[in-house]
Amino acid sequence: MEEELGRALKKAKYIALKYVKNENIAEEIAQTASIKLFLNYTKIDEISLNNWIYKVTKNLCMDYFRKHKQDKELNDELYYLDNLPHEEESSSLSNQELNLELYSFINKKDREILERYYLKQEGINELARAYKLKQKALKNKIYRLEQEIKLYHLIDSDVIYFKPVPATKLTKKINSFISSLVKALENNDLHSMSRYLKDTKFNDAIDRIHIKSYETCKLQRDKDDNYLLLIGYLDFEDKIKVFYISFTITEARNVQVIEFPILPKRVLVIGKEYCDSKTAEKKYLNKRGVYNQKLGTTDEMKAKGIATVIQTKDTF
């Protein structure tokens, strides 16, 4: 889905640029079009996708001209653009079908804002006046809510590995949890994390975790409504170490730890000469976060010297 959204964003920007003749404005319109696509994705069949992108992007351009018309020349241009021939779209894909009640983690007032902005096509100026907000504050709020929805769909999809989405409450809570965890392990004070650790199962390896610097994390969908948080860090010998934490997300969108630490059977690092760290995930992981074996099996990579085992359960 991410690849399709990326292609849609490029197509929408290309269409918008033909109308508005301004790179920045076209980018904003394309972003809005891609969000609309994200929210309506399950309702659009593959055959109608291009038509849908064209129609929505064109309508957004029309909205822009209507809101910014200043003189007769622009009105004439608007009339011309409005009457350009365009591809047909199925009427069954109307935004009116979008059910914002699905996103129960967004409060009623914020859902109302999204409804008025996306479904009723009300402008930022009008909404800012209605809710007594500055335009910038309203734009930031809408962006944050869009990110919350994006994270919801990532968590609820078949994508196993995904990075925390910025500007979301859940991501902030996960980051706060990680910060508290690192500090607690550094100070040997898990009591300070008691709000996360109700009924948590602790494994013996916890005594072997000594964090010099926290390096990275990755979320992994587990069974049912549980998740795994991979923590990567450097120990005091500057060795890379990895462990998992099993957790669930409560109805209040809080982190509740189920078990930790969970150790992987082994951790391999692929040599820098064989992969670029910036493109490694895209190149060697499928959409479910599973290694695609393009460099061979783990045993083959070890035998060829492509990868080195840096951690096992016994050597953690």
Please check whether residues 170 and 137 belong to one and the same domain: no
| Shared-domain flag, residues 121 and 167 | no
Which has the closest alpha carbon to 220: 279, 186, 252, 262? 262
Looking at residue 287, its pLDDT comes to 58
Burial class from Cβ neighbours inside 10 Å (0-12, 13-18, 19+) for residue 305 reads exposed
Instruction: Determine the pLDDT at residue 80.
Output: 33
Cα–Cα distance measured from residue 140 to residue 170, given in angstroms and rounded to the nearest whole number: 17
6 and 67, same domain (yes or no): yes
Same domain flag for 236 and 300: no
Looking at the fold, whether 9 and 61 belong to one and the same domain comes out as yes
Residues 166 and 238 in one domain: yes
Question: How many residues comprise the chain?
Answer: 316
Considering the domain architecture, whether residues 68 and 12 belong to the same structural domain is answered as yes
Q: Do 245 and 290 sit in the same domain of this protein? A: no
Let me know whether 127 and 21 are in one domain: yes
Q: What is the pLDDT of residue 19?
A: 78
pLDDT value for 79: 34
Q: How big is the CA angle at 269 (ends 268 and 272), to the nearest 5 degrees?
A: 160
| Amino acid 274: pLDDT | 81
Q: What CATH code is carried by the domain that includes residue 256?
A: 3.10.450
> Which of residues 124, 143, 160 is at a domain's end?
160
Task: Tell me which of 130, 160, 190 is where a domain ends.
Answer: 160
CB 250 within 8 A of CB 256: yes
Same domain, yes or no: 155 and 210: no
Amino acid at 240: I
279: Cα separation from own chain's centroid: 18
Flag residues of the chain having pLDDT under 50. 70-97, 158, 160
pLDDT at position 203: 92
Q: Do 140 and 242 reside in the same domain of the chain? A: no
Q: What is the pLDDT of residue 88?
A: 33
Asked if residue 32 and residue 10 are part of one domain, the reply reads: yes
| Token digits of residue 312 | 């096992």
| Tens digits of residue pLDDT in 229-272 | 888 888 899 888 999 999 988 877 788 999 999 998 888 888 88
Pairwise CA distance, residues 11 & 14, whole Å: 5
The pLDDT of residue 230 is 84
283: containing domain: 266-316
Q: How many domains, in total, are found in the chain?
A: 3
Residue 15 CA: distances (Å) to CA of 1, 9, 34, 57, 118: 21, 10, 13, 7, 20
The whole-number pLDDT of residue 35 equals 82
C-alpha angle with apex 247: 245 to 250, nearest 5 degrees? 160
Which of the listed residues 113, 128, 160 is the one where a domain comes to its end? Answer: 160
